[in-house]
Every structure is written in structure tokens, then in C-alpha cells.
């Protein structure tokens, strides 16, 4: 890191900083200008979280050189990570992966019908919530384990991989038995116990960006999972809270190419939660593909009017099929397949 000293820093203060840094195992490179002294330190920056140099007398500013999210960063791994979901299904390669299905699993028959349609249209992963994080405790909370059973059965019957949300560390083992990917929802992005628990498994995890999370917060949360040993992590941009109320969230398209620069992990875009409106989903899905996402998550329901959650942002299967056709041209234009 680089330490910029105050113009009035004394020689005693400089020597004190150098002594402390040496004790911490950092090598100093001091550059004395007419007005200012700047010290470049080489070594493990982590120690500065315990002993921050900012608090030393004479220090004006400390500029870290390395990203605080180490394992997640491009500095750590140059090539894109490709996450193997199951035989024949991977995320992060040249092909854009599409996850589609209802917000909530409502019945075996409705899930089966939608799964057949999304698979026929080109989706390779079926989504469906069994434990739902609802703002109101009086809203439909999901079918819980019964829903997980339907998801597993339908996944096997149709031949499609599956993803569902895990809301609590105590559900990790149960959900492990039923699905191929853990989804960590926006509201749980900083549930650190949950991040550690899924980090201790080898199952792929899709980590959604928190409602008000900065990109750094989001990548630090992913770091929790990798730090526990699970490198099978995908990041999902699902829109953030802003002053704008015309849409449910504001889809942060910027995040897609930016996170691709900062991290080697695949980036998924969720235009359903990003907009909250079914009539905007197709445009934002196309924009996300153009921006370089590695996958899409799209809510599809056989009859959105009757959906028990998120009907207003769910596509009808026929609209999803049309969108998948349209996305081919966009993907091709940016050198990808879908
Ligand atoms: C969902 O995918 O249905 C969901 C609840 O998403 P988010 O956590 O992004 O709100
Ligand atoms: Mn939803």
C-alpha cells in the first residue's frame, strides 16, 4: 500500500511508522519530496486491518493497492471461472446459461408444465422458490420441503438442472438433497453465517446482490464463500434500491461489465427482479447480454395473473420463447451463444 504523510510529519513520526511496519512484516520504500514524504509498503496488507496505519501520527492517507476481496479478484485468477453444475450444464463459458421458472413453486403440475416449456425454449436450469423471503409475513411463504420434492422430481423428469433459494444456515443440508444450485437472495447477501455454511460445501452457489449493496460489499460477501473453500460461485445482479419508484428496482447494468473486470466469477443478470415489470424484462435481458453477462435468471409462470408471488414481473411461456429467439442475435453480436 501507499502511505502519504502529512506535510508537517516529523522525522520521529516517520521513524515510528517505519518501525511499526517492519514489525508487521512490511518492506518500506521511502520517497522524500520537498513538500511531502510518501512511503510504499510491500507485504501482507491484511495486517493493516488489525493495525491500521491511518491512526499513526503524521499519516494523512493510506491507499491500498490490492483489492480486499482476494480470491474473488481477477488479480488472483486471470481466466474466467466456469462453474460445472451437472453433466452437460456449466455457467461461465462461451454459452450464456438461462435459468427460468416460477418465482415460487406452487404445485407439481404447474411446475412440470412450465419446466417443459422453458427447457424447450433453451433454458438449462429451472428456478423455483420453496422458502420465500417475503416482505410481509402474511404473504405466501412457499411450500418448503414439499416444494423441494417437486423441484427435484420435475428436474429429473424433464432433464433440467435446478436452483432454489436457501434462507437460513439450518436449511443448507436439507436443500442440498434436492437441488443443484443454492441461491442466496438479495436480503441474505450479508448473512455471514449462511455464506460460511454454503462455503463449506462444494455445491454451486448463486449470490444475489443485496438491495442496497455496493459492488465491493457484494464481492466481499462472495469472498466469504470462497474463503471457506467453495469456488463454485456465481454473482447475480438483480437491481438495486434507488430514489426511482417507477420500477421495482433499478437494474445496474454498469455492474455487469464492471464485475467482469474485477472478478473471474460468472455474472448472471436477473431482469425480472431488476425491473419488477414483465413488459420491461425482454429489453433488460437483451441489454444484459449485450453488457456481457454469463447467464440470465428469468421468472416464467403459466398464468402470471394467478401467481402466488411476483406475477407482475413473470413472463408467460410464449413470451419467454420469443425472447429466447431474440436473444440469439444479441448474443451472437457480442461473440456468445445462448
Ligand atoms: C427470487 O429470486 O425470487 C428472489 C426473491 O430474488 P431476490 O433475492 O433478488 O429478491
Ligand atoms: Mn421472485
Q: Where are the domains of the chain?
A: 2-63, 83-333
Q: What sign does the dihedral 333-183-237-110 (CA atoms) show?
A: positive
pLDDT tens, position by position, 140-192:
999 999 999 999 999 999 999 999 999 999 999 999 999 999 999 999 999 99
Res. 35: pLDDT tops 90: no
pLDDT higher for 41 or 268?
A: 268
Average pLDDT, the chain: 96
Give yes or no for residue 49 having a pLDDT over 80: no
Distance 35 CA to ligand 2 centre (A): 57
Could you identify the atom of ligand 1 that is nearest to the CA of residue 187? 8
Residue having the nearest C-alpha atom to atom 10 of ligand 1: 186
CA-to-CA distance for 209 and 189, rounded, in angstroms?
A: 6
* Contact residues of ligand 1, CB 6 A cut-off: 103, 129, 133, 185-187, 208, 238, 273
Distance 132 CA to ligand 1 centre (A): 8
Question: What's the confidence (pLDDT) of residue 52?
Answer: 85
53 pLDDT band, cuts 50/70/90, is confident
CATH architecture for the domain at 83-333:
Alpha-Beta Barrel (3.20)
Q: Average pLDDT, stretch 25-29?
A: 91
CA of 185 to the centre of ligand 1 (A): 5
Nearest residue (by CA) to ligand 1, atom 6, is 185
Where is average pLDDT lowest: 22-26, 89-93, 149-153?
22-26
Q: Give the separation between CA 230 and CA 283, rounded to whole angstroms.
A: 34
What's the fold here for domain 2-63?
Alpha-Beta Plaits (3.30.70)
Bridge partners (DSSP) of residue 263 are 73
Give the pLDDT confidence of 206-243 residue by residue, as tens digits. 999 999 999 999 999 999 999 999 999 999 999 999 99
Kindly identify the ligand whose nearest atom is closest to the C-alpha of 308: 2
Is the whole-model pTM more than 0.85?
Answer: yes
CB under 5 Å of ion ligand 2: residues: 103, 310
How many other C-beta atoms are found inside a 10 Å radius of the C-beta of residue 94?
11
Nearest listed ligand to the Cα of residue 297: 1
Which ligand does the CA of 99 lie closest to?
1
Q: How confident is the model at residue 46 (pLDDT cuts 50, 70, 90)?
A: confident
Amino acid at each position: 500500500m501507499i502511505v502519504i504523510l502529512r506535510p508537517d510529519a516529523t522525522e520521529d513520526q516517520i521513524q515510528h511508522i517505519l518501525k511499526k511496519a517492519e514489525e508487521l512484516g512490511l518492506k518500506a520504500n521511502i520517497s522524500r519530496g520537498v513538500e511531502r514524504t510518501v512511503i510504499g509498503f510491500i507485504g501482507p496488507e491484511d495486517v493493516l486491518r488489525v493495525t491500521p496505519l491511518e491512526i499513526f501520527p503524521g499519516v494523512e492517507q493510506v491507499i491500498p493497492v490490492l483489492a480486499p476481496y482476494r480470491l474473488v479478484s481477477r488479480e488472483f485468477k486471470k481466466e474466467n471461472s466456469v462453474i460445472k453444475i451437472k453433466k452437460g450444464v456449466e455457467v461461465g463459458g462461451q454459452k450464456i446459461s438461462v435459468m427460468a421458472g416460477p418465482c415460487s413453486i406452487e404445485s407439481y403440475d404447474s411446475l412440470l408444465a412450465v419446466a417443459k416449456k422453458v427447457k424447450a425454449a433453451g433454458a438449462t436450469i429451472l428456478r423455483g422458490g420453496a422458502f420465500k423471503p417475503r416482505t410481509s409475513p402474511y404473504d405466501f411463504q412457499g411450500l418448503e420441503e414439499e416444494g423441494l420434492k417437486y423441484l427435484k422430481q420435475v428436474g429429473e423428469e424433464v432433464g433440467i438442472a435446478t436452483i432454489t433459494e436457501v434462507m437460513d444456515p439450518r436449511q443448507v443440508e436439507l436443500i442440498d438433497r434436492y437441488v443443484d444450485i443454492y441461491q442466496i437472495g438479495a436480503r441474505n447477501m450479508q448473512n455471514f453465517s449462511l455464506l460460511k455454511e454454503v462455503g463449506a460445501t462444494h455445491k454451486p452457489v448463486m449470490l444475489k446482490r443485496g438491495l442496497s449493496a455496493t459492488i465491493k460489499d457484494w464481492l466481499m460477501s462472495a469472498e466469504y464463500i470462497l474463503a471457506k473453500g467453495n469456488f463454485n460461485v456465481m454473482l447475480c445482479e438483480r437491481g438495486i434500491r434507488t430514489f426511482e419508484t417507477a420500477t421495482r428496482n433499478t437494474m445496474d447494468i454498469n455492474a455487469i461489465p464492471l464485475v467482469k473486470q474485477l472478478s473471474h466469477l460468472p455474472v448472471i443478470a436477473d431482469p425480472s427482479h431488476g425491473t419488477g415489470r414483465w413488459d420491461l424484462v425482454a429489453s433488460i435481458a437483451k441489454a444484459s447480454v449485450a453488457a456481457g453477462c454469463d447467464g440470465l435468471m428469468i421468472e416464467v409462470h403459466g398464468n402470471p395473473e394467478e401467481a402466488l408471488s411476483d406475477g407482475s414481473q413473470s413472463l408467460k411461456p410464449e413470451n419467454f420463447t420469443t425472447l429466447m429467439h431474440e436473444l440469439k442475435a444479441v448474443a451472437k453480436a457480442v461473440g456468445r451463444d445462448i
